[in-house]
Amino acid sequence: MKRSAILPELLAPAGSFECLLAAVEAGADAVYVGGKRFGARAFAKNFDLDELSRAVAYCHLHKVKLYVTVNTLIEDREMPEVLEYCTELYRIGVDALIAADLGLIRVLRRHLPHFEIHASTQMSIHSTLGANAAAELGITRAVVARELSLESIKSVCESSKCELEVFLHGALCVCHSGQCLFSSMVGGRSGNRGECAQPCRLPFEGGKYPLSLKDLSLAEHIPELIDSGVASLKIEGRMKSPTYVYTVTKIYRRLLDEHRAATKSECAELRRAFSRDGFTDGYFTGNISRGMTGIRSDGDKESSRALAERAFEPIRKKTRAAVKIKLGEPSEMTLFTDEKTVTVIGEAPLAAINSPLTPESVKARLSKMGNTYLSLNVEDIDLTLDEGVNLAPSALNALRRAAAEALESSAREVTVDKYIPTRTTAANKITTAQFFRESEFLSAASRSSSPISALDFTFIPLFSSPEALSKSNGVYMPPVVLDGELAEVVGALENAKKQGIKYTLVSNIGQITLVLSLGLVPIGDFRLNITNSESRAAYEEMGVGYSVLSPELTLPKARDIGGGVITYGRIPLMITERCFISENFGCEKCAEALLVDRRGESFPMMREFSHRNLIFNSLPTYLGDRTRELSDNRIAARHLLFTTESAEEICRVLSAHRSGLPLDTPVRRAGRR
């Protein structure tokens, strides 16, 4: 879907009001901010509702849009509060919400149907299928994955039914956004809830930083981005200073306006503002390599500190006024800008007994705009004043305040029905398993009296052999499938169906329609990030009858949603676009690569489709011996993950799980936080 504007929107971050002032002064077309809750940068200063109201007023006076992030996963108990919050955001005139939770999006479409929604990059949209699925949900813009190349961006732009927003500059997550559980599973701070502890920035074995990426900069690719069809170019940085926001936004404003790439001096200026050993454009150019790795050095910090900090003050919007004060009629004041005109009515003047109003005194009082974001010179007031009339100073002040408030206001009338929680039914008693290694699945399934035969669904890699496919009833889709990879995946799905496969484990909204169109039954993977009943209902409406819930849920929180729970397995913590295995261990070590952290914990790594990598937790989660606890929480659907296990270990775990017995190996307990 091609944008209508000549230039893409320049979207700047603001973690504080001063950052917002900096962004507007630097020439941003739009600014995105977070509230005190429900945003993916929980540790930024962020905005309360009063500040957000003032931010809307200021931005709109300067023809700048304001977007608010509500891009964390939402829990059932929070949904009424989030809806109330979003209603206030709509009422004060926020231009769009940036959301990630499908359940929240479902609620917003029902209660606030006119509120524009942008799909956060946390929704894992990286293909035309994903963008079009978002459009079908009423989403007008998709913030696509940072990992997309220029060719992928152009492909999605060409066929997407919604606008695309692309990250232009700033920090890069090493994991595909929305798919990272490292901070949550290892440190107890959920990135999906805005509390990421950034374990990828920490040293691993040998004091190395294999997961720390340089910051993104596409300053040298502005002409290609302009021509690509993207609607918006986004600067990351809600944790950054006002000086950073101003410096980076100002440079990109200039580059866009001049339709050119950055010079060496401009790139150096961007680097001084903030970098991690320079920048990378590896994803965009397709040059995905070790050269993308970088950390924030002492030299980087010194360069940033050398930047002259400055204060940012509001730029007052110049206005004009027409005022009528006539005997026997209500006083009237009209305020004008180039974009907006408002008229307010005040008290009627009386005949003056003494000291009648003079043009000079009226203009002097009405020009005092006080704490507003407006300015009004006395010479820009067109005054119609009857002779011999008087009006109290308080009445003139009230007239001026009413006019200023009306001009600054973007308030909208809204009536919202009371939120009634969606009730979902508990999943039927069912046991499912996903096998990441075809060879071990085939070996375990081929044994006599194999416990695999007792499983209701088995999901094996999509590109498995005919022999393995004949022993399974399901396959799992690769979590990431770019446009250029789709034909290969479709061919594999069609082949799997011919081999008797009926079910497909899907990882994002873009895969559901594809699977249904091929006559297969979609089953929701935990990667759908279902943390509330509304999300589960939304996926059911899309055709996903059964889903595995987010492993970040406690058992009591999972209870009322009614999906499956992971009761065994090393949970995938990351999926990376880069192949760290080949970079750090060599392709011959693909089956035995381990990422070892500074505490000596080992995290197995495994190749995923098209040389992406999966990083798994150091210990498997196990709840198979917690049958009473699972039963008390009405959880009958259970899901197992088999990653590094041998065929013998698979059979042992399945037997123990079926009998409700503990394992004799170290495990991680889950579901109680």
User: Distance between CA atoms of 314 and 77, rounded to whole angstroms?
Assistant: 39
Mean of pLDDT values over 119-137:
97
Element of type H or E holding 65:
strand 65-70
Segment 302-319, tens digit of pLDDT: 988 888 788 999 999 999
Mean of pLDDT values over 514-518:
98
User: Distance between CA atoms of 279 and 575, rounded to whole angstroms?
Assistant: 22
- Please provide the average confidence, as pLDDT, over all residues in the chain: 94
Segment 169-180, tens digit of pLDDT: 999 999 999 999
Segment 185-202, tens digit of pLDDT: 988 898 898 889 999 999
pLDDT > 80? residue 3: no
Between 332-336, 374-378, 587-591, 646-650, the lowest mean confidence (pLDDT) is in: 587-591
pLDDT at 583: 86
Percent of the chain past pLDDT 90, that is, above it, reads 89
Strand partners, 638: 431, 565
pLDDT > 80? residue 537: yes
pLDDT > 70? residue 39: no
Segment 556-569, tens digit of pLDDT: 999 989 899 999 99
pLDDT > 60? residue 1: no
DSSP 149-204: -HHHHHHHHHH-SSEEEEEEEE---SBPTT---HHHHHHS--GGGT----GGGS-B
pLDDT at 391: 95
pLDDT at 525: 98
Residue 49's alpha-carbon distances to 83, 101, 371, in angstroms, are 14, 21, 18
Mean of pLDDT values over 46-73:
96
pTM value is: 0.95
pLDDT at 231: 97
State the distance between the two ends of the chain, measured CA to CA, in whole angstroms.
43
DSSP 301-346: HHHHHTSPP----PPPEEEEEEEEE-TTS--EEEEE-SS-EEEEE-
Percent of the chain past pLDDT 70, that is, above it, reads 98
pLDDT > 70? residue 423: yes
Mean of pLDDT values over 583-590:
82
pLDDT at 214: 97
pLDDT at 154: 98
pLDDT at 673: 40
Segment 352-372, tens digit of pLDDT: 988 899 999 999 999 999 999
Tokens at 181, concatenated: 């559980």
Segment 652-666, tens digit of pLDDT: 999 999 999 999 999
pLDDT at 309: 84
pLDDT at 42: 58
User: Distance between CA atoms of 245 and 236, rounded to whole angstroms?
Assistant: 9
Strand partners, 216: 170, 280
pLDDT > 70? residue 498: yes
Segment 592-648, tens digit of pLDDT: 899 999 999 999 999 999 889 999 999 999 999 999 999 999 999 999 999 999 999
* Conformation bin of residue 490: beta by default, left when phi > 0, alpha when psi is -120 to 50: alpha
pLDDT at 591: 76
pLDDT > 70? residue 4: no
